[in-house]
């Protein structure tokens, strides 16, 4: 075990037996036991990593690490696996390089840009709507989890590449992204298939440079972004890493959010009624305008509550660089820090009836009363999710379009067992039938 005898402060309590915290079932199962036994910050030694880690479930401490002193914490364990998939995209990079990339990419996720991209999102939802109409007519059982997964993949691809998704399919000879919905294991095979996309992306970048087509999508934003400090554009390798990052970071997270939001809406009739009333009063005619989507405040509350109960990123990490202090506890350099939105969102001291689905927690009054950092589905501070606004608008658009047309019935006794890997998935897809509303 590392020698911490030089420390003047104390270390938090924790189990004597070594344990390696990971995005896996064993970690998911043991966290509640630790929190019960040791309190809101737990020290655990990993013999695999030969270092100590703290599980931090206290809003003030989370605030300290993510907002007050983020420069002392770099990305922690787990991110090395993400790096294999994404190269040095902004989800894994750190320091000056991360700052530069974030600065260049940020405007693509602003209001003006997202408003323009809504047309692409609308088209994907229109395709789904047409397909669901047929499924509603035939009353067949559908796999909601698979459907939302497919939709979210289409959405993220269309906002990144717009009509040039077709270029990529043509160039590849078949759908090069199919494995992302067909194979959700993210094992080495998938890493290899994913890395093979690099050549395709390079071809598209070259083609765009040569033909200069008019496009409004993330690729266009990323290709034309100029760093204010260096006055340089991104190099192709950096550009491609950021494309990969946006696909992976924006696909399954959004899919899981839609999956659970639908499930919760369909099993809470009074919430569904209120959502329908809101859509009816805000959207006079389809398709809704961007401004109308932003007015779907109750839908946003529903989605926020789904993200509270089932945050797709249920565990993430940092590693301390220099000594620091968390309340009364010492943080030696090289300490791994783990945050779990899933357990923070169910903390009995911060959430009343935490297991219950109640979108009113997020109405304007209750929202103001909540302590900061007890709700962190998108993390917090400078490394907060860059796609948070987009993810919410994407959901508002989806429900604004689909909910007035379809009622969803969950097939009885769905197994809602969770699969806590990199993202918090359901083990088996949720099966539903659709009927058209009168």
Candidates 196-204, 322-330, 374-382, 413-421; binding stretch for ligand HEM (CB under 6 A): 374-382
Mark residues 130-159: x for contact with ligand HEM by CB under 6 A, - for none.
--------------------------x---
HSE at residue 57, side-chain half, CA atoms within 13 A, is 25
Question: Shortest distance, CB of residue 199 to ligand HEM, whole angstroms?
Answer: 22
Closest CA to 429 of 420, 419, 421: 419
Residue 250 touching ligand HEM (CB under 6 A): yes
* Subset of residues 274 to 333 that bind ligand HEM, contact rule: CB under 6 A: 312-313, 316
Residue 249 touching ligand HEM (CB under 6 A): yes
Choose, by CB under 6 A, the member of 27, 145, 184, 257 that binds ligand HEM: 257
Here the tokens at position 129 are 């709507």
Choose, by CB under 6 A, the member of 234, 246, 403, 424 that binds ligand HEM: 246
* Subset of residues 74 to 93 that bind ligand HEM, contact rule: CB under 6 A: 90-91
Candidates 46-54, 189-197, 229-237, 386-394; binding stretch for ligand HEM (CB under 6 A): 386-394
Q: Which is nearer to ligand HEM, 246 or 283 (CB)?
A: 246
CB 260 within 8 Å of CB 252 = no
Residue 75, classed as helix, strand or coil, is strand
Residue 375 touching ligand HEM (CB under 6 A): no
Q: Which residues of 66-89 are buried (b: 16+ CB within 10 A; e: fewer)?
A: beebeebbbbbbbbeebbebbbbb
Residue 386 touching ligand HEM (CB under 6 A): yes
Interstrand relation of 418-420 and 424-426 (parallel, antiparallel or unpaired): antiparallel
Q: Which is nearer to ligand HEM, 351 or 434 (CB)?
A: 351
> What region does 23 belong to: left with phi over 0, alpha with psi -120 to 50, or beta?
beta
| Contacting residues for 72 by C-beta, under 8 A, at least 6 apart | 320, 321, 322, 324
Q: What is the DSSP string of 266-304?
A: HT-HHHHHHHHHHHHHH-SSSSPPHHHHHT-HHHHHHHH
Residue 387 touching ligand HEM (CB under 6 A): yes
Count of positions on this chain that bind ligand HEM (CB under 6 A): 23
Residue with tokens 């919905």: 181
Measured at CB, which residue is nearest to ligand HEM? 387
Candidates 7-15, 363-371, 384-392, 409-417; binding stretch for ligand HEM (CB under 6 A): 384-392
Candidates 244-252, 289-297, 327-335, 359-367; binding stretch for ligand HEM (CB under 6 A): 244-252
Choose, by CB under 6 A, the member of 319, 379, 396, 407 that binds ligand HEM: 379
Choose, by CB under 6 A, the member of 300, 383, 425, 431 that binds ligand HEM: 383
Candidates 139-147, 192-200, 291-299, 377-385; binding stretch for ligand HEM (CB under 6 A): 377-385
Distance between CA 54 and CA 319 in Å, rounded? 10
Here the tokens at position 80 are 């090395």
Residue 254 touching ligand HEM (CB under 6 A): yes
Choose, by CB under 6 A, the member of 124, 197, 391, 401 that binds ligand HEM: 391
Distances in whole angstroms, Cα of residue 278 to Cα of each of 8, 104, 218, 297, 409: 57, 37, 31, 8, 21
Q: What is the DSSP string of 362-390?
A: GSHHHHHHSPTTS--TT--GGGS-TTHHH
Count of CB atoms situated within 10 Å of the CB of 221: 20
The footprint of ligand HEM (CB under 6 A) covers: 90-91, 102, 156, 245-246, 249-250, 253-254, 257, 312-313, 316, 377-379, 383, 385-387, 390-391
């Amino acid at each position: 075990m590392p020698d911490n005898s030089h420390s003047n402060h104390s270390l938090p309590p924790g189990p004597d037996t070594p344990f390696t915290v990971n995005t896996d079932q064993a970690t998911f199962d043991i966290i509640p036991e630790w929190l019960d036994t040791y309190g809101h910050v737990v020290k655990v030694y990993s013999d695999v990593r030969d270092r100590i880690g703290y599980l931090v479930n206290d809003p003030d401490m989370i605030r300290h690490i993510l907002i007050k002193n983020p420069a002392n914490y770099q990305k922690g364990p787990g991110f090395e696996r993400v790096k294999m998939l994404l190269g040095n995209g902004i989800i894994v990079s750190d320091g000056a390089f991360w700052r530069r990339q974030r600065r260049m990419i940020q405007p693509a996720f602003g209001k003006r840009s997202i408003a323009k991209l809504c047309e692409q999102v609308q088209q994907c939802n229109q395709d789904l709507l047409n397909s669901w109409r047929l499924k509603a007519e035939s009353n067949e059982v559908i796999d909601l989890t698979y459907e939302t997964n497919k939709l979210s993949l289409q959405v993220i691809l269309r906002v990144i590449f717009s009509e040039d998704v077709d270029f990529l399919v043509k160039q590849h000879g078949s759908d090069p992204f199919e494995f992302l919905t067909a194979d959700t294991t993210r094992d080495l095979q998938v890493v290899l298939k994913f890395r093979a996309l690099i050549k395709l992306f390079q071809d598209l970048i070259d083609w765009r440079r040569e033909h200069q087509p008019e496009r409004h999508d993330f690729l266009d934003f990323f290709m034309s972004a100029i760093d204010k400090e260096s006055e340089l554009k991104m190099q192709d390798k950096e550009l491609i890493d950021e494309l990969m990052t946006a696909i992976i970071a924006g696909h399954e997270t959004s899919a899981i959010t839609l999956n659970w939001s639908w499930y919760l809406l369909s099993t809470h009739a009074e919430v569904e009624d209120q959502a329908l009333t809101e859509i009816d009063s805000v959207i006079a005619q389809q398709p809704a305008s961007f401004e109308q989507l932003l007015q779907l405040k109750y839908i946003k509350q529903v989605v926020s509550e789904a993200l509270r109960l089932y945050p797709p990123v249920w565990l993430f990490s940092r590693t301390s660089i220099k000594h620091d202090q968390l309340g009364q506890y010492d943080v030696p350099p090289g300490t791994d820090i783990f945050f779990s939105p899933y357990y923070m969102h169910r903390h009995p001291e911060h959430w009343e009836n935490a297991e219950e689905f109640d979108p009113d927690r997020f109405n304007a009054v209750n929202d103001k009363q909540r302590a900061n950092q007890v709700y962190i589905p998108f993390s917090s501070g400078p490394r907060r999710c860059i796609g948070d606004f987009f993810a919410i608008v994407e959901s508002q658009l989806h429900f604004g379009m689909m909910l007035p047309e379809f009622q969803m019935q969950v097939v009885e006794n769905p197994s809602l067992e969770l699969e806590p890997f990199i993202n918090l998935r359901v083990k088996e897809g949720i099966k539903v039938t659709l009927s058209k509303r009168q």
